[in-house]
Amino acid sequence: MKRRILLVDDEVAVLLTLKAVLEISGFDVDTAASAREGKSKLRACDYHMVITDMRMESDAAGAEVIAAARNAPCHPAVALLTAFPLADEDWQSLGADKMLVKPMHTRILLQQIEKLLAAHESKLSIWSAPAPAKSPTPAKPTTKKSAKKIPTKKSEPAKKSPKR
């Protein structure tokens, strides 16, 4: 089964180029030219990964797509594609799993996508794995262990003091 990726970017040249590269590499790719279209496709289809531009029709458009992906029942991996790199804590606080900075060499892009998908699939398998069954706690033995007796000095009878 091919892994499905949703690309969201308002630059048609970027969409078409990335779509071609990813399809040649064996992915099934959908595209959206706006955050609004991307959010609509997320509601309609299941994706393994969403790659979204940060700045589209508004500066917050990428954050809206990321939020929609995080709420999607398919729980896709999310990569933020941007020409304007953010600090790690900024893109992570948006909910992205990875930041991809454009322009980028095709080989590096594909390596990063494969690595992210593998890590995300591993995380999902941990979430969906049934919890290990609790083993019954062994019953405590019913036989009493004989307690060792510690030898004690026998008390001597108190000496009577001589009468005077």
Does pLDDT of 156 surpass 80? no
| Helices 35-44 + 61-71 axis angle, to 10 | 10
Which pLDDT score is estimated for 78? 93
- Indicate the DSSP class of residue 73: T
- Residue-range domains of the chain with CATH: 4-128 (3.40.50.2300)
**Res. 12 pLDDT band, cuts 50 70 90:** very high
* DSSP E strand boundaries for 15-102: 28-32, 49-53, 77-82, 98-101
pTM, entire model = 0.70
pLDDT in tens, 50-105: 999 988 888 888 899 999 999 998 889 999 888 877 776 777 778 889 888 887 78
Closest alpha carbon to 86 in 57, 116, 66, 107 = 66
Exposure class string for 144-159: b at 16+ Cβ within 10 A, else e: eeeeeeeeeeeeeeee
